[in-house]
Amino acid sequence: MIQTLRENKKLQGLLLILPTLLWMFGLLIIPLILTFVTSFGGRSADGNVIYRFSLNNYLRLIGLTPEGGFDPLYLQIIWRSLTLAFQTTILVILMAYPLAYFIARAPAKRRNTLLFLVLVPLWTNFVIRIYAWIMILRTQGVLNSVIGWLVGLAGGHFQPFELYPSQSAVLIGMVYEFLPFMILPIYTSLEKIDNSLFEAAADLGANALRTFWRVTLPLSMPGVVAGTILVFVPVIGTFIVSDILGGRQVILVGNLIQRQFLDARDPAFGSAASIFLMLMTLIVTLYYTRRFGFGEEIAAA
């Protein structure tokens, strides 16, 4: 038996991946199948699942009522989730790229320190960091107090911003939370670019802008693609940030799913929303990765 194991490379590989396969099957595949089956069910009077085949839950999500009417409530929630996810991803890219570029071009002795500063916020609990933004964004918070003080010094009158609770506060919180997940992959791609390429571009007469557009940006796209996946996927399903900074008024798909399971006690509809969210995320991700590339880019990053 031992001799056979030593000679059979395929069997060795199977034994190596078997623990991971069992873990994935037990904690991912089986729950996903159960969620999919439940999504076609119904809700009993006491909140239990009635297992049957019905598309009513999915029809509710796209706005069709059993009576044949149209209710755009859930479509508005889905659209709001997609909009915030795209806005967050774009803003994170615009903020992360210059910072990652600065770190990648910094002297080698300073890079570790700068990367350490990027990672320091992640040492604090996710929820605590979100609650800290309430102290900053609320009407009597730090932001309005500082701006009001500066305007007062100039002799003007300041009307405080009403940022909390609001969708703008949710956007700010999401950008803050997921910024490091964009910085790190972009930095990895930028740091791997050979300096001789910049020298060659300069020798060929390219200025700084043309060098960035023709050399730096294309070679750093692996990091941008990887960072986009790391940001967009969790953002579109998050519910903690919108619950806290939105004051439970900004409802996203993640909030909808959470409340169906915990408050409304309608796991069938919550399961349908979960499957719909997964498919929506998969479609957007596939389109993005096919448009900008994925396999080689992620490997390079």
Instruction: Give pLDDT, residue 294.
Output: 52
d(CA 224, CA 97): 8
Does residue 3 sit within a domain? no
Instruction: Give pLDDT, residue 154.
Output: 82
Does residue 223 sit within a domain? yes
The domain total for the chain is 1
Does residue 12 sit within a domain? no
Does residue 49 sit within a domain? no
Range of the domain at 212: 74-300
Per DSSP, helices labelled H in the chain are 2-7, 9-24, 30-38, 56-61, 73-105, 108-119, 126-137, 142-153, 167-191, 195-203, 208-211, 217-237, 240-245, 253-262, 267-292, 295-300
d(CA 289, CA 231): 14
Rounded to 5°, angle at Cα 238 from 74 and 266: 50
Does residue 61 sit within a domain? no
Mean pLDDT, the chain cut into blocks of 10 residues (301 residues total): 67 82 92 94 88 91 82 92 95 96 90 91 89 92 90 84 91 94 94 86 85 89 91 91 91 93 92 93 86 53 41
Instruction: Give pLDDT, residue 248.
Output: 86
Does residue 201 sit within a domain? yes
Q: Give the CATH number, domain containing residue 216.
A: 1.10.3720.10
Instruction: Give pLDDT, residue 5.
Output: 62
Does residue 213 sit within a domain? yes
Does residue 150 sit within a domain? yes
